[in-house]
Amino acid sequence: MKERVKVVVTGAAGQISYSLIPRLVDGHTFGDKIVDLELVEIPQVVEKLEGLVMELEDSNFPNMGNVNYTSDFEKAAKDADWFLLVGSIPRGIVYNGKKIEERADLLQINGGIFVGQGKAIGEHGKPNAKILVVGNPANTNALIGRHAANNESQLWMAMTMLDSSRAQSVLSKKLNTGISDISKMIIWGNHSPTMYPDFENMDCNGQSGKDLIDDMDWINGEFLPTVQQRGKAVIDSRGASSATSAAKAALDTVVACENPTASGDCFSAAVMTDGSYGLPDGIICGMPLRTLADGSVEIVSGIELSDFAKEKILISTNELLEERAAVMELLQ
C-alpha cells in the first residue's frame, strides 16, 4: 500500500492555488505518495471549487487521493500533514465596507484569520505537521498562527523561497551560469522589500558569491533592488501579483522539507528565531534551513555574516518587530 499525505490548501480558488494544486498531485512534489487534498475557501467563494475539483478529476493524476472542498477550516485540518496557507485578504479590497489600503489594517485583518486557523492546526493537525504561510504579510501571519497553535512539535514557516529563486535567477545571469549551479541562496529577514538576499554566502560550483562578485555598485544598484522589488515589478506589469512563480516556490519549499538537504547546502524559509545569528527573539525570520534524514528541519548554523549583511538584516528584523508590535493583542 502506498503512503498517504494529507494536504490542506487555503485560498484554493485564488490565482496561486490554480497553479499550485494540480502540481501537488502530479507525482513530483510528494513522489510516490497518494495525496489527499482539502481545499479551503471563504463561504462566499467556496462553491467555485467544484469546478476546480472537476478539472482535477478530469486530469487523471495517478497520485490524487480524496479531494474535498469546504469553508470549514477546522474540519479540513483534521490529521493533516501539510498546510499551505495561501488565503488572505489582499491590499485594495473592500472588506466589511472599508477599502483596505494601510499595512496596519492588512496586518489586523489577516492576523485575525490566522488566529482561528492556527488554533485549529494546533488542535487538529498532525503533531509533526508542517505549515507554510504564503498569504501576506506572511511572516507576521505565521507568527500569529504559530502562537495560536501553541504546539511546539509542528513547524511553522513563512515562504521566502520565491525571493530566493529570484535572487538565484539574477545571479545566474550575472555569472553567466546555469540556475542549478547556484545553491545556498539564503534570504534573511522579512518577505517584504527589506529582505536581504545573501549573495556573499551563495555557492556557485564550489565558489562563494563573496569571492566571485567584486562589484558593490552592481550589488547596491541592481541586485538588491531587483530582487527586493521584483514582486512590485510583476504587479506593475501584470496587474496582479506573482502567481505561477509563487506556486512553484511553495512546491519547492515542500520538496525541500520532504527530502534530506544535500551536505553543505541549505534552503530558505522564515521560521521562529532561536537566538542564532544575534536575531531578535520571537519573530518569524528568513534563515538558512536544512532537512535531516528523519524529516525534521533545523536552522543551519555557522554561516558567516559580513558587517554589510548584518546592517541589511537589521533593517528587515526591525520591520518584523514593528509588524509584531502592530498585532500584539493577537499574541497575548
Ligand X SMILES: NC(=O)c1ccc[n+]([C@@H]2O[C@H](COP(=O)([O-])OP(=O)(O)OC[C@H]3O[C@@H](n4cnc5c(N)ncnc54)[C@H](O)[C@@H]3O)[C@@H](O)[C@H]2O)c1
Chain residues that interact with ligand X, rule: CB under 6 A = 10-11, 13-17, 40-42, 45, 86-90, 113, 134-136, 138, 159, 162, 191, 241-243, 246
Specify whether 28 is catalytic: no
Q: Which residue from 228, 211, 252 is spatially nearest to 170, judged by alpha carbons? A: 228
If one counts every other C-beta atom within 10 angstroms of the C-beta of residue 82, the result is: 22
Q: Is 23 annotated as a binding residue?
A: no
Q: Is 230 annotated as a binding residue?
A: no
Q: Is 166 annotated as a binding residue?
A: yes
Q: Is 4 annotated as a binding residue?
A: no
Give me the least distance between CB of 246 and ligand X, in Å please: 4
Let me know the angle formed at the C-alpha of 241 by 240 and 244, rounded to the nearest 5 degrees: 105
Give me the least distance between CB of 294 and ligand X, in Å please: 27
The closest residue (CB) to ligand X is 14
Parallel/antiparallel/unpaired status of strands 284-291 and 182-183: unpaired
Give me the least distance between CB of 136 and ligand X, in Å please: 4
The CA-to-CA distance between both ends of the chain, in Å, stands at 45
Nearer CB in complex with ligand X: 95/218: 95
Give me the least distance between CB of 230 and ligand X, in Å please: 10
Give me the least distance between CB of 47 and ligand X, in Å please: 12
Give me the least distance between CB of 67 and ligand X, in Å please: 16
Nearer CB in complex with ligand X: 114/277: 114
Nearer CB in complex with ligand X: 33/166: 166
- CB-based burial label for 254 (10 Å; 0-12, 13-18, 19+): buried
Please give the backbone phi and psi of residue 231, each rounded to the nearest 5 degrees, phi first.
-60, -45
140 touches 106 (CB < 8 A): no
Please give the backbone phi and psi of residue 72, each rounded to the nearest 5 degrees, phi first.
-95, 90
Choosing from 28, 124, 147, 191, the catalytic residue is 191
Nearer CB in complex with ligand X: 87/145: 87
Nearer CB in complex with ligand X: 33/147: 147
Nearer CB in complex with ligand X: 143/162: 162
Q: Is 290 annotated as a binding residue?
A: no
Q: Is 282 annotated as a binding residue?
A: no
Catalytic residue numbers, as ranges: 191
Known binding residues for substrate are 91, 103, 136, 166
Known binding residues for NAD(+) are 110, 134-136
Known binding residues are 91, 103, 110, 134-136, 166
